[in-house]
């Protein structure tokens, strides 16, 4: 919570027991709410300190500091909102300072505050009056808000401080990360046992899913998607001979599906070994799926290779052109026109927003080294 210019010098003497009691009442009110098990569990996991170390409140993922003067100014509802604000910093991994290296931390803090406060307001919570919650940023991620703010970045004022702290002294970065993640997983599990899983933000559930489940090779994930198009008794879930030499995945012997489309980005970011890995998978999809025909296109800013192949054809080698940018629109235009059963697009995802109106085919984006990519349409499989 970025708040400047607070002066408690003229405040009346503190009644610390009364302050602590008001904080405890706010925590109990949260626990008694029927749909807040996730938040109340995380709040309880933080070690509370009531002191003057910070002007309002601060958090490092393990400890929560509350300024008693500032707390005394808040209504019970706003005091709860303040604590939930700090909890959300933990939930969203903002205490992992290494993840934001190189960014303007002042502007980033404002962006994160906008995102958190707008989210809490959407849930019906109240907040201290002096925070950031501009409704024009509603629906944006904190990094999208950051990018908007950086177009005309606000100047960092003197006396600025951050309520988001990094790894505590005496704790390793790894231990810090694992402790926070463990508390988040426990909170998710408690919410699930209370039938409140729907009250948890979707991006938090995705984080827990990645932590709990082992990371699979991207080819296996793609295979599970393509298994839905299987028309016979064989399955993509069987061991793949490319990764397990002692096993063999059989080809499909059923009636062929109709057209599929595959496109591969040959821009500068698709280096030789990445291109080779993707090209190998494209050949494998052609051999295994056995469609009646397949559109194959390579592209960077322009289309280089664009050909329709028919069942029984051998695929021509596609060269890595090494161009600069990426334009995926011609490929999407062909998908719109030809309406294949599905399309695979191998790319880094760095391109202008394309026009996807009228596309009804299933689209799968296989994205290289771009974790923030959000698809204009279809499903995403990431690899690095």
Domain residue extents for the chain: 16-212, 218-383
Task: Say how far apart CA 150 and CA 73 lie, in whole Å.
Answer: 33
Task: Say how far apart CA 289 and CA 276 lie, in whole Å.
Answer: 20
Task: Say how far apart CA 188 and CA 345 lie, in whole Å.
Answer: 34
Q: What angle is formed at CA 291 by the lines to CA 289 and CA 294, rounded to 5 degrees? A: 110
Q: Residue 277: in which H helix or E strand, if any?
A: helix 272-289
The token pair that represents 152 in the structure block: 């005309």
362-368 and 379-383: which strand pairing?
parallel
pLDDT in tens, the chain (384 residues): 444 445 555 566 788 889 999 998 888 888 877 678 899 999 999 999 999 999 999 999 999 999 999 999 999 999 999 999 999 999 999 999 888 889 999 999 999 999 999 999 998 999 997 789 999 999 898 999 999 999 999 999 988 889 999 999 999 998 998 899 889 988 888 888 888 877 787 777 777 776 665 556 788 788 878 877 865 444 444 444 444 444 444 444 445 689 999 999 988 777 778 888 888 899 889 988 889 999 999 999 999 999 999 998 988 877 776 667 899 999 999 999 999 999 999 999 999 999 999 999 999 999 988 888 889 999 999 887
The separation between the first and the last C-alpha atoms of the chain, rounded to the nearest angstrom, is 35
Residue 151's CB: how many other CB atoms inside 10 A?
Answer: 6
The token pair that represents 223 in the structure block: 């295979």
Burial of 294 (C-beta count, 10 Å sphere; 0-12/13-18/19+): buried
Q: 218-383: which CATH topology?
A: Rossmann fold (3.40.50)
What is the layout of strands, in order, in the sheet containing 260-265? 303-310, 293-299, 260-265, 342-347, 362-368, 379-383
Closest to 364 (Cα-Cα) out of 324, 331, 337, 317:
331
């Amino acid at each position: 919570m970025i708040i400047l210019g607070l002066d408690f010098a003229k405040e009346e003497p503190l009644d610390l027991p009364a302050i602590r009691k008001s904080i405890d009442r706010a925590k109990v009110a949260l626990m008694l709410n029927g749909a807040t098990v996730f938040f109340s569990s995380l709040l309880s996991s933080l070690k509370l300190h009531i002191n003057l170390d910070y002007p309002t409140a601060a958090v490092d993922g393990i400890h929560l500091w509350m300024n008693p003067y500032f707390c005394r100014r808040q209504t019970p509802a706003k005091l709860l909102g303040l604590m939930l604000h700090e909890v959300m910093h933990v939930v969203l991994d903002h205490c992992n300072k290494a993840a934001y290296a190189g960014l303007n931390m002042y502007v980033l803090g404002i962006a994160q505050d906008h995102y958190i406060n707008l989210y809490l307001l959407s849930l019906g919570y109240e907040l201290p009056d002096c925070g950031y919650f501009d409704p024009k940023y509603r629906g944006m991620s904190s990094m999208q808000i950051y990018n908007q703010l950086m177009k005309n970045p606000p100047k960092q004022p003197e006396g600025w401080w951050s309520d988001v702290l990094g790894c505590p002294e005496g704790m390793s970065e790894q231990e810090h990360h694992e402790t926070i993640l463990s508390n988040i997983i426990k909170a998710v599990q408690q919410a699930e046992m209370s039938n409140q899983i729907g009250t948890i933000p979707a991006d938090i559930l995705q984080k827990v899913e990645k932590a709990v489940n082992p990371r699979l090779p991207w080819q296996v994930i793609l295979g599970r998607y393509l298994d839905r198009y299987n028309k016979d008794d064989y399955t993509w879930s069987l061991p793949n001979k490319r990764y397990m030499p002692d096993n063999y995945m059989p080809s499909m012997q059923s009636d062929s599906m109709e057209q599929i489309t595959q496109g591969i980005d040959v821009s500068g970011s698709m280096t030789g070994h990445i291109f080779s890995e993707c090209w190998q998978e494209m050949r494998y999809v052609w051999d295994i799926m056995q469609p009646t025909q397949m559109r194959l296109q390579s592209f960077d800013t322009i289309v280089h290779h664009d050909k329709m192949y028919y069942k029984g054809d051998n695929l021509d080698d596609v060269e890595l052109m090494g161009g600069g940018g990426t334009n995926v629109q011609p490929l999407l235009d062909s998908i719109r026109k030809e309406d294949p059963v599905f399309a695979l697009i191998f790319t880094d995802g760095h391109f202008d927003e394309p026009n996807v109106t009228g596309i009804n085919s299933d689209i799968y984006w296989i994205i290289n080294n771009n974790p923030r990519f959000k698809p204009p349409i279809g499903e995403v499989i990431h690899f690095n």
